[in-house]
Every structure is written in C-alpha cells, then in structure tokens.
Structure 1
Amino acid sequence: MPALFLFLLPLLLPSLGASTAEDICIVGGGISGSSTAFFLTNNTAPTPARLRVFERRDRVGGRLATVSVAGDNFEAGGSVIHPRNLHVRRFADLLGLAARDDDEGDDDWLGIWDGGRFVFRTLRPPPPGSSWLRRRLHSLANSLLLFRRYGFSLLRMDSFVQEMLQKFLLYYNGFESRPVFDNVEEMLKWSGLYGLTQRTLQEELIHAGLNSQTISELVTVITRINYGQSVSISGLAGAVSLAGSESGLWAIKGGNWQLAAGLLKAASATLHLQEGIDSISDAGDYYVLKSNKGHEYNCTVTVVATPLDEVNISFTPPISIPPRKMQHTHATFVRGLLNPKFFGLNSVSDIPELIGTMEVPDIPFSSISVLKKHSEHDMTYKAFSRAKLDDSLLDQIFSTREETIRINWPAYPHYHAPEDFAPIILDGKQLYYVNSFESAASAMETGAVAAENVARLIISRLPRAGLLLLSEEDAGGPPEPHMESFAGEEDSRCIDL
C-alpha cells in the first residue's frame, strides 16, 4: 500500500495543487487592470493568496504611454485629467504623483478647417508673460467670438453635458447607497445613463435644441479629436467627449502611465511583463491560464482587463460577447514645420495651434496640435488620423520634417447606437470582463469606475470574504492605500471623464 501511494502521489499532486489554487489573475496592465488590482487589495483582509497581473507588452499602462521626440517626452495615448476625475485624482494623490508644468493656458488657439479653409478661428493667444488682465480679456473675447457664431447652442450643449455628469456622479456615492452591478445595462439604468447609449449624439443634441452649425462644426471637432469619430457615435460616448473640452485639464509629470505602475505597486501584485495569455480554461473550481511563454497558472478568479476585440485569447468553454470593432487612432508626432500653403495661408504664424476638422471625407487627419514651440521655425506637432499618414502626404502637410514617429492605437470602441454590451461575468462563475463598460464610454476615469464595480462584484460573489494578499513587500511600499467612496465630494464644478 505505501508503494502504491508513492506511485500515485505524483499524479495526485498536480490535482491537489490546482484544486487549492487561490491566485487572482488579471489579464492586462492598463488603467482598468491596475485599478481592479488596487480596489481588490484595498477592500479585503490579507490572506494567503497571490495577485498576478499579466501584460503582453514590456511596460504597463496599456493605452497610457509617452513618446520621446528630440529629447522631449509627450503623452501618446490618454493625455489629460480633469481636476474632478475623482478616482484618478485620488490615485495621483495617494501615489505622490505631481502635475506636469505646462506653459500653455486653458485657451487653445483653435481653427476649424473644412478641407479648403478655416471656417472659424479663435484669437491668437497673447505672448508669453502677458499680464493676468490681458489674458483674462483674451479669454473673454474668445468667448464672445464663440457665442457670436454658435449662440445659445453653447449653453444648451453645456446643459446637456452637465446633466450627464450629474448622473455619472452617482457612481461615487457611498457603498451603502450604491449597488454592486453584475451587468453594464443595470449599471447604466441605475444612474439614468442607459438611454444615452441607445441614441446617437446627433439625435440627442438636436433634441436638446442645438443648431446644425454647432453640431457640424464645434461638436464634430471635439468628437473627432477625442474619439476619432463623428456625431453618429452614441450619446453617452459623445457627452463624455464633450466633457473633455472643459478647462483645467492636467497630466502626470513624467507620464500618465505612472498611474498604472503605481497602482500595481500599491496592490503588491506579481507582475508578468511581456507575458500574454493565450488561453483561459475552466477547470471546475479554478481556471487554467496558459501564457505565450509556455507557463500555466491556476487562478480561482480571472479578470480580463483588456479589450477582447483584437486579442487572440481562446476560452474553454467558449464565451459569447457581441461583436465590436475598435476605432484605431493613428498618432503621428512630427518635429518640423507645417506648410501654410496646404491650409491656404501665407505664413506659418497664421496657422492656429490646434487645428480641428469637420466630417469631410477628403480631410486626411482629425486634428493637428502644437506640442512644443522650439522656435518660430521649429516645432513639435501631434496629428490624429483614422488612417496612417504616409510620407508623401506628410510632405504636403509639412514644409520640413526632422523627425517623425507613428503610433497606431486601437484606442476606443467604434461607437454606434443602440449599443450592445458584453457580460461583466463571462461564464456565470468567476471570469470577469472589465472592458465591457467601455462600450458605454472609454476614458481613464470610466475604466477606474468600471474596475471598482468589478472588484466589489468579485468580493460579493466569493465563497468567503477576503481572498487577496498584501505581500511582505507592503511594509516598505507606498503610503497605506485605502478604498473608500466619494460621497460628499460633489461640488459645482464639472467633471471630465
């Protein structure tokens, strides 16, 4: 009998080890995955379990990244944070991340281009070092210019955005008054936002009383810059995009990607860089994750925190999610000088610092903005486009190019109305999908809001409370994190999502 037991022991050990697996595995090291890790570890008591995060790239951050042009670093993905992004602002404070110092103010020198001419331009900004009074008068004059062209539609647009924001604020309520949601539809219906996902932005704005000129020019410019899409996107995504045109935007000094890195460190997660997950299989009481490095991991809970639309992960048994396309945004960084003749102008000094475009098929880019002015004849630009800007086209748009860097982002879902939503719980058990909420709206803050709900959902559905481990490294880690609600933090300022 002992000999038979010793013979069977090697066969029994893998099974015994797998059945007691207590790893929590998160696939994706972007803001959604890192936020999920943070909220999980800071709402549970320490127990002997391990939190693993798999990132197929060689860095964390997902769609948060910087690019270096001529020695200067610029945001290449998600680039701005509003002072009232409550989760992201709290993350930055907790992690000790400072705001980047920018020379420019909130007033961009905007030009709206229809492919042949600038149909509208704000005033050229005052020179650096101008007095507060001069800058204030300049801002007032631009407001009057906007009102003269778009009239009371500006107020109606603001009212539309504010109504959406007030509803979104409900997601920061205290836990005692905020349910845990197991599907996106109920999450949106609870806040009163679901209807906005069933109609287009254009339909919503016409219903709100905006005139056609405001929609075809100003609103279109904003949606093309923020989501690379037209006003045919769903109403909620459009409202979030419009909220992103508010003032007071900021970014993390050194790059917004540090939010993800800091949250993973605060969560004491075991990080697997350059290790993508090829398959996820249900083994009964746990999941077997197989990576592109040939490793296998047994996980009691698995969280998919990356869009499944363009990654090749096989699921056993198969999962069912609605088909969804990602909107690719091509970010092109150029050190050089724009060609004024391309824009029908005589001088580079006449070209606005932010060029927004109307929804015209022949326009090859969504926007071009000045990131840094090195001199009157040397600047760094960022261009957004729906397709790659090849060299021949860039040579028409720019008179000189010293350096060119291209990044192709699968940046957001391609929004449409009515929207369909993938399940948050993919298999009815312990397989979760954070990015299902992204079909409502995509941004750093919406990713964090979705992650908090998934973390609470996991905790509520575990057979026992408190699964995660705060590892021994915590003793020397960042300031003690703590998960809490934002009840009572609402004020009269609006939120950019």
Structure 2
Amino acid sequence: MVKFRELNLFFLVVWLGRAVTETPNAEIPPPERIAVIGAGIGGAAAAHFLRQYFGRDVQIDVYESGTVGGRLAKATISGQDHEIGAATIHPLSLHIKEFVQLLGLKERKHPNNLLAVYDGEQFVFEESEWFIINFFKLIWRYGFDFLRVKMWLENYQHKFMRIYQYQAQGYSFTTMEKLLQVLGGDNFVQMTKHSIDEALQEVGISQRFIDEMVGSIIRLTYGEGVNVNAFVGMTSLSETESDLWTVEEGNQLICSGLLYSAKVNLIKGKVTSVDAKERPRRNGEVVTVYEVNYLVGPHTDYGAYDIVIVAAPIQSSDPEIHFRAFSQPIDVPRGRYQQKFVTLVEGRLNASFFSYHGAGPFRPTTIGTTVHSGNFILGASVSAPVTRGTPPARVWKVLSPEPLGEEGLRHLFPSYAAVRQAQWLAHPRYSPDDRVPPFVLHDQLYHLNAIEWAASTLEMMAIAAKNGALLAHHRWFRQLDKIDQDTLQEVKVEL
C-alpha cells in the first residue's frame, strides 16, 4: 500500500508540478532579479522552482562561499568516494525523486544493515539476517512495542504526505505551524512541542524500547537523545525503513544539476548582510529593494534584488549574515547547531571494545549506542562507496561529538590503513522548547532553513524550497488565496 500511495503521489507531483501557479496579475510587473543565498539542497531546489514559476527572463543569482552541495559532500578514501554528509534518501522523498529523474541521475539502493545496540557494557540487541529470528528477538525483549511504533509512524507519515497534494495545487504556507495544522491538526502541531519520549509513552511504548532502540537511532541520525521533539523523532525513525537509496556518484550532483538546469548565475562570494533599501518607481510607488553585500576574498561587492531567499542557517547566537535597515527586527531562530564529526576508517573494527566475544565473525554493520553508553561515539556503520566497481576493504563511518583522535582510533580499530575526517554543523540542537521561526522574514525576504527547526532532512529542505518559491510568486503577484489555505481542490489523476 505504501508503494502504491507513493506512485500515485509521485505522478501527481510530476503532472501538476509544472502548472501550479495561476496566471500572474498583468498589472504587476514581474521581478527582474532574485537572489538565493546558499547552494545546498535548499538553495539549488529553490533556484529550480523559482525558474519554473517566474519564467526564463528573471535573473537568478545564487551565492555560495563554499562548495556547491553544502552539507551534501563526499570524501575519497582508498581510491573510492563515500558520502560524509546526508547519506541516505527515503523512498517517499518525492521531490528528490523528481529531481533525480529530471537530471538523468541514477538511484543506487542502500545496502540493508544489521543493527546492534550497545549500552556501554554489552549489545542489548543484535539483528539477524533472518526476519523470523528478528521478530522473536524483538518480542522477547520489547513485547509488541516495535509494531506499535511502526503503526504510530505510518499514521503520521500518511498525514505528512498530503503536503505533496497541497504543493501540487500551488498552495504555500507562511509558517511551519500553519503547514502542520493543515496536514494533521493540533496533534500534528504538538509534535514540535513535545519530546519523542513523551509522545511514545503516551501511546504505551515502554521506556526500555524508547531508550534502547529509539534513542540509539536518533543518536545515529541526529546525534541527540530522546529529548528531541517528536517530529524529529518521527523523521529519524523513518531512516530505519528498507529501500533507502542514494545517488550514484554522490548526492551533491542533485545540487549542481539543478543549478545548471535553472541557468543561474553562481556567485562565489560570502554574504555578510542583507540591507533593505527603499526606492521609487516611475509611477511614484515606493518599493523595497534588497541589497545583498558579499565578500570575494578581501574585496566587497553588492547586488540589488526584488526577492531574496535565504537557504542557509542564520541562527542568532553567532550570525554570519546581518539584516540591516529594516523597519522591524528580522525574526531569526535563537539556538545552536549540532556539531558532528564523521570519520571514515578503512580497517578492522575492534569487536572486543563492544564486549563482543562471539565465536563467529562480527556480523553487525550498524552499531547504535544508547545515552547510557557515554559520549565517546554516537554510532558507526559500514559505508558503501557511491561509485560502482570492485568493493574496497571494509570502510567504517564513525559518528562522534568530538574528534576521535589517535587514542579513540586505537580503541576502535586495532589496525587501519586510511582515515578521513569531516566536521559538520549538521542541524539544530533540538529541544521541544524550540520555537520554529516563520518562512517570511520581510515582504519579499524568505528563510528556507526555518524548516530545520522542526526537522532536518534532504526532503524537508526540498519541501521548504518549493514552499518558498510559491510564497515568493504568490506574494509578488498578490495571489493571496493560495497562501495559508486549508482546502484542497478535487483533482483526479488517471494512471
């Protein structure tokens, strides 16, 4: 049923996705220049949708100080490339699927992993290659909690999938709260305000299952515990499903491909501020123009734009982009991003470190850790290269809150041939007390990464990109009936 629903929604997204906007108001001239700040998945997808909705004549400038792809990146170890950023894509990520088909990229199925959960003293659960054995193992330790969680997860996934129908019909939302309210009512909104621990306890899930299974999965995906909000917990648990995939040759190809197909002007500069400037038109109307100031090496420059979409973090604890000369303060999230270190190691894992003394070979390919195991590592998994060919020696991807260092490597690997390490500010540090900021910062100034304060995934950023492009279009041409509405039109699609 899930795959059939996915197929229907995917065709709906593709079929209607190119004609979701109404005819623009002829009395309102179209924008001349649009800026997108950031060339990660959010910025690249925004450029794609902006070109789709505003047409070929508008100039779209994309600013990026680093590498195109942002937190999508790969590293080479022992002659083969491995993902070190966002590594897997969910089978229900319909926007990402559409991008991949549009760009002629190839999907590569992610290998199924054998999970083992370590509590600091021993493996409390170890997955088998046989489904029936896993079924009885789960019942023996957790009762039917795993089935209850699966049903809970599918219920909320089904509600959230309605976003594709709304976006296919051109609807957009000014805040994440309004978006969630339309999709699932007050219960859905509360998912960003309650912890996953509280949410699962309310439906009768045992603390043992929450701490051991749910907690270890969240540490693997988000580097935190079960105090994260329930919406983050839902997206994290979704990463345990089968049929996960990745893009052959690297997920970052989606970003470079979308920028190329959208025919943008890529500016390799670091944006330092966005200033609001009032300028008169020939008809006497005074309009706001946004001045984007940026650095290229030691030199400063700027560009003036009708619309600006920020597709980069702008948390106020350490702002890199300042907003100046606005009549009202710009509403930005207050918080920090989670630091995460990703270390690729070609070597033999020290099974005895995990108190594993089995008679046979060490079979787990993913190791989750509970909050009681300490903070040395968050988890580890066998990494598959993004290119096809002869598999290299086994490469482990270790996630940790701090650099492993020589001592940490010696603990985990009695011998290793190569090591590569990357550091990320991967996503916000989540708490149910967080306030999810709005998508609209000013009249024609939008912030896509606001969605990250609800949950951060590739598909969430793609959804935010389409929502931001639709918002910009509707607000520019004053099509307000397409904003924050809760009624879908009846659409019939014959397949």
Task: Please give the range of the TM-score, normalised by the shorter of the 2 chains.
Answer: 0.7 to 0.9
Instruction: Report what 2:355 is aligned to.
Output: 344
CA–CA separation in structure 2 for the residues paired with 1:487 and 1:249: 30
Instruction: Report what 1:77 is aligned to.
Output: 85
Aligned partner letter, 1:61: G
Instruction: Report what 1:305 is aligned to.
Output: 311
After superposing the two structures, state which structure 1 stretch, 212-221 or 388-397, moved more: 388-397
Residue number among 26, 33, 49 corresponding to 2:43 in the alignment = 33
Relative to structure 1, is the Cα distance of residues 445 and 490 closer, same or farther in structure 2, using a 3 angstrom cutoff? farther
8 Å contact kept, 1:279–1:290: yes
Residue number among 366, 391, 399 corresponding to 1:354 in the alignment = 366
Identity of aligned residues (%): 30
Offset at residue 142 of structure 1 (A) = 2.2
Offset at residue 320 of structure 1 (A) = 3.1
Offset at residue 368 of structure 1 (A) = 1.1
8 Å contact kept, 1:280–1:315: yes
Residue number among 408, 416, 422 corresponding to 2:431 in the alignment = 416
8 Å contact kept, 1:174–1:487: no
Relative to structure 1, is the Cα distance of residues 363 and 418 closer, same or farther in structure 2, using a 3 angstrom cutoff? closer
8 Å contact kept, 1:28–1:304: yes
Q: Does residue 278 of structure 1 match 2:290?
A: no
Report the secondary structure of 1:392's partner residue: helix
Instruction: Report what 1:10 is aligned to.
Output: none
Aligned partner letter, 1:62: G
| Alignment deviations for residues 121-155 of structure 1 (CA, whole Å, 9 cap, x no partner) | 112x4xxxxxxxxxxxx233223322332221111
Instruction: Report what 2:115 is aligned to.
Output: 110
Number of corresponding residues: 433
Q: Which has the larger radius of gyration?
A: 1
Instruction: Report what 2:235 is aligned to.
Output: 240
Relative to structure 1, is the Cα distance of residues 295 and 173 closer, same or farther in structure 2, using a 3 angstrom cutoff? same
| Alignment deviations for residues 17-40 of structure 1 (CA, whole Å, 9 cap, x no partner) | xxx982200000011111111111
CA–CA separation in structure 1 for the residues paired with 2:452 and 2:311: 11
Residue number among 472, 477, 487 corresponding to 1:458 in the alignment = 472
Report the secondary structure of 1:387's partner residue: coil
Offset at residue 111 of structure 1 (A) = 1.1
Aligned partner letter, 2:120: G
Offset at residue 120 of structure 1 (A) = 1.4
- Superposition map of 1:55-454 within 5 A: 55-57=64-66, 59-100=67-108, 104=111, 106=112, 108-123=113-128, 125=129, 138-174=130-166, 179-192=171-184, 193-273=188-268, 275-284=269-278, 285-293=288-296, 294-309=300-315, 311-317=319-325, 318-346=329-357, 349-350=361-362, 352-360=364-372, 362-371=374-383, 378-427=393-442, 429-454=443-468
8 Å contact kept, 2:167–2:466: no
Q: Does residue 53 of structure 1 match 2:62?
A: yes
8 Å contact kept, 1:174–1:486: no
CA–CA separation in structure 2 for the residues paired with 1:306 and 1:444: 14
Report the secondary structure of 2:333's partner residue: coil
Aligned partner letter, 2:332: I
| Alignment deviations for residues 304-345 of structure 1 (CA, whole Å, 9 cap, x no partner) | 101112551121035232312111121111111122332223
Aligned partner letter, 1:243: S
CA–CA separation in structure 2 for the residues paired with 1:377 and 1:250: 20
Instruction: Report what 1:472 is aligned to.
Output: none
Report the secondary structure of 2:133's partner residue: helix
| Alignment deviations for residues 26-82 of structure 1 (CA, whole Å, 9 cap, x no partner) | 0000111111111111123333x210001110x211111111111111111111112
Aligned partner letter, 1:352: P
Instruction: Report what 2:18 is aligned to.
Output: none
Offset at residue 290 of structure 1 (A) = 1.3
Alignment gaps of 5+ in structure 1: 1-19, 126-137, 466-484, 492-497
Aligned partner letter, 1:366: L
CA–CA separation in structure 2 for the residues paired with 1:387 and 1:113: 19
Aligned partner letter, 2:145: S
Report the secondary structure of 1:288's partner residue: strand
After superposing the two structures, state which structure 1 stretch, 165-174 or 64-73, moved more: 165-174
CA–CA separation in structure 2 for the residues paired with 1:180 and 1:370: 40
Alignment gaps of 5+ in structure 2: 1-29, 279-287, 480-488
CA–CA separation in structure 2 for the residues paired with 1:278 and 1:298: 14
CA–CA separation in structure 1 for the residues paired with 2:343 and 2:394: 14
CA–CA separation in structure 1 for the residues paired with 2:145 and 2:182: 29
